[in-house]
């Protein structure tokens, strides 16, 4: 961290000392707390917070002049009001002289601060995850991020950010900083391996990155969407503290923006929340093409977070490599070892619990879930706008055709896919058997079994609760029971028979799903007529 040539940093230190006094504020106060990072101070004053940028010039930001700091304070306000309008209140001047600095006083302006509403630090997602996460957290995160991304306009063609060479350069710069910061040879070797993997992937993905930019997926995003920059307030998910200091670091692919959050959730030991978030995001945005570069962005974001952790430790004059940095490097290495692609079908009547149990399964094998109920609603409407023949044979055929197209897209991007549908007809399963064979990937079927009366109870309870994508009622169930075609002995693929009458918590059992990871490790050669019994 280098002060500019005019010596503004010492002046700022005197200013901060003055702002530690209650008299410096336009309202009565008892105490002021100061939180310092390598690029800013945050003054916590009662229900208010004031964020002041340090007069520093680094290779990725420049706050050296008063004009710079004013501009970037206003940018911070503009950008973060998109997701947290109640949190970001204003940009206020700090008046001097430095030894008698005041917030919005009558003297000459010596600096600026972003005026924020103070929040409970226990509501930050990184703190929430230390305890018991609230239910449906992954879906709530996805709802907020998808809503934000869908509202963003694509960057104009004249904007030069987000090109493949920009992505490659950003990754190279992060790896170079890590190499300069890490002295241990073994850990430096980890960085080198990650860099070599990222270089290969960035070159391979060049045409994909260009196509996504041309298709409008590069937008002015958050840019720093990790768990420490997300609040849970009054039931809402509120991203905050997006990047204001660099247009290139926030003008990125939306899937890159999401990848930061997904990676951080995984690194913190919450793969279920991460997978729920990803699958819900894909349902809302339909951006399945984003799966192609997603793994690269996950690894890149692990490198970024490791770099930041080390830089913050260095700012505290600590020579030790922070444990959190190692956690992110380890996460990055795990993410380079992708499981094989595969197609996993669920089979079972409505109300048997396929959606709830397949959600658990997706986290266990890192799979993308495609839900027939969601696709059917997208094709034929839902609620009062639904087509009257939404569950007709023709509508079902169209739904399975769409599921097959998306499955091919997911597998082509290198991910396993779980297709959550009833698959009660042999021809429905045959479509996917042929698809798996054409794609050269293994096929598995999870055959969900439960008493019919239990399914009737679940469907009635689901209808009473509302909010579920499935609108299959008891009449649909009766038609399914009458027309269901059992699995034949000559149908290919691994079959796992699952007793869905058990409590949902049992689905966390590794033993219940173990044949699937084994199948993924075997790859396409694992396609056989094996049968597995899970009970």
Domain boundaries, the chain: 8-118, 125-336, 343-534
Instruction: Let me know: does 274 contact 286? Beta carbons within 8 Å.
Output: no
Using an 8 Å Cβ cutoff, are 372 and 382 in contact? no
So what's the pLDDT on residue 152? Answer: 97
pLDDT value of residue 524? 43
Q: Does the fold of domain 125-336 match that of domain 8-118?
A: no
Q: Give the model's pLDDT for residue 82.
A: 98
Nearest Cα to Cα of residue 422 among 361, 467, 464, 483: 483
What's the pLDDT tens digit per position in 166-187? 999 999 999 999 998 887 888 8
* Overall fold of domain 343-534: Rossmann fold (3.40.50)
3-state helix, strand, coil in the chain (%, to 5): 55, 15, 30
Of 214, 221, 203, residue with least CA distance to 167: 203
The CATH code belonging to domain 8-118 is 3.30.200
Nearest to 166 by CA among 196, 202, 197: 202
What torsion, rounded to 10 degrees, do the Cα atoms 313, 335, 125, 173 define?
Answer: 40
∠ CA 310-311-313, nearest 5°, is: 65
Mention every residue, 6+ apart, whose C-beta is less than 8 A from residue 71: none
Find out whether the peptide bond into 97 is cis, omega within 30 degrees of 0.
yes
489: which 2 tokens? 């002995």
Beta-carbon contacts of 402 under 8 Å, excluding residues fewer than 6 positions away, are 375, 379
Query: In terms of DSSP bridges, do strands 88-95 and 109-117 run parallel, antiparallel, or are they unpaired?
Result: antiparallel
For the domain covering 125-336, report its CATH number. Answer: 3.90.1200.10
Inter-axis angle of helices 164-181 and 206-214, to 10 degrees?
A: 120
Give the pLDDT of the chain (535 residues) as one tens digit per residue: 344 434 458 899 999 999 999 999 999 999 999 998 888 999 999 999 999 999 998 888 899 999 999 999 999 999 999 999 999 999 999 999 999 999 999 999 999 999 999 999 999 999 999 999 999 999 999 999 999 999 999 998 878 888 999 999 999 999 999 998 887 888 889 899 999 999 999 999 999 999 999 999 999 999 999 999 999 998 899 999 999 999 999 999 999 999 999 999 999 999 999 999 999 999 999 999 999 999 999 999 999 999 999 888 876 766 678 899 999 999 999 999 877 899 999 998 877 778 788 888 888 889 999 999 899 989 988 766 666 687 788 999 999 999 999 999 999 999 999 999 999 999 999 999 999 999 999 999 988 888 888 878 877 877 776 666 666 677 877 888 888 899 998 888 888 888 877 765 445 554 556 667 667 765 544 434 344 444 3
Contacts (Cβ under 8 Å, ≥6 apart) of 201: 295, 296, 299
How do strand 343-347 and strand 417-420 relate by DSSP bridges? parallel
């Amino acid at each position: 961290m280098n002060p500019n040539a005019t010596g503004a940093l010492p002046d700022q230190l005197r200013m901060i000392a003055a702002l530690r006094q209650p008299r410096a504020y336009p309202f009565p106060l008892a105490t002021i707390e100061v939180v310092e990072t390598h690029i800013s101070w945050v003054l916590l004053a009662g229900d208010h917070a004031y964020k002041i940028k340090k007069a520093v010039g680094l290779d990725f930001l420049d706050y050296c002049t008063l004009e710079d700091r004013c501009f970037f304070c206003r940018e911070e306000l503009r950008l973060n009001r998109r997701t947290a309008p109640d949190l970001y209140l204003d940009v206020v001047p700090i008046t001097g002289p430095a030894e008698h600095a005041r917030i919005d006083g009558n003297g000459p302006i010596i600096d600026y601060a972003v005026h924020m509403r103070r929040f409970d630090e226990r509501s930050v997602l990184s703190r929430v995850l230390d305890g018991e996460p609230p239910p449906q957290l992954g879906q709530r995160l996805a709802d907020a991020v998808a809503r934000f991304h869908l509202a963003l306009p694509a960057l104009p063609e004249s904007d030069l950010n987000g090109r493949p060479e920009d992505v490659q350069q950003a990754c190279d710069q992060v790896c170079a900083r890590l190499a300069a910061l890490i002295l241990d040879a073994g850990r430096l070797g980890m960085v080198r391996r990650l860099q070599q993997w990222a270089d290969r992937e960035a070159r391979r993905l060049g045409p994909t990155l260009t196509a996504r930019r041309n298709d409008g997926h590069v937008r002015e995003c958050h840019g720093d969407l990790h768990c420490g920059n997300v609040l849970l307030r009054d039931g809402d998910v509120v991203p905050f503290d997006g990047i204001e200091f660099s247009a290139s670091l926030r003008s990125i692919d939306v899937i890159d923006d999401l990848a930061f959050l997904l990676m951080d959730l995984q690194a913190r030991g919450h793969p279920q929340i991460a997978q729920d978030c990803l699958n819900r995001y894909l349902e809302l945005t339909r951006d399945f093409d984003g799966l192609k570069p997603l793994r690269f962005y996950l690894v890149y974001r692990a490198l970024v977070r490791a770099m930041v952790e080390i830089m913050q430790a260095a700012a505290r004059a600590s020579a030790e490599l922070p444990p959190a940095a190692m956690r992110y490097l380890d996460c990055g290495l795990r993410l380079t070892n992708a499981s094989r692609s595969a197609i996993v079908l669920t089979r079972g009547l409505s109300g048997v619990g396929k959606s709830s149990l397949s959600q658990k399964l997706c986290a266990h094998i890192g799979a993308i879930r495609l839900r027939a109920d969601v696709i059917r609603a997208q094709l034929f409407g839902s609620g009062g706008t639904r087509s009257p023949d939404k569950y007709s044979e023709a509508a079902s055929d169209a739904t399975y055709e769409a599921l097959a197209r998306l499955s091919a897209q997911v597998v082509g991007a290198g991910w396993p896919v779980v297709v959550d549908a009833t698959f009660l007809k042999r021809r429905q399963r045959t479509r996917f058997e042929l698809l798996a064979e054409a794609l050269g990937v293994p096929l598995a079927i999870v055959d969900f079994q439960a008493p019919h009366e239990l399914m009737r109870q679940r469907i009635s309870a689901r209808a009473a609760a509302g909010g579920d994508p499935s609108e299959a009622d008891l009449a649909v169930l009766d038609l399914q029971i009458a027309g269901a075609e059992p699995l034949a002995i000559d149908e290919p693929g691994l079959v796992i028979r699952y007793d869905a009458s058990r409590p949902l918590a049992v689905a966390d059992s590794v033993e219940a799903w173990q044949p699937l990871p084994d199948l993924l490790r075997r790859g396409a050669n694992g396609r056989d007529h094996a049968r597995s019994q899970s009970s």
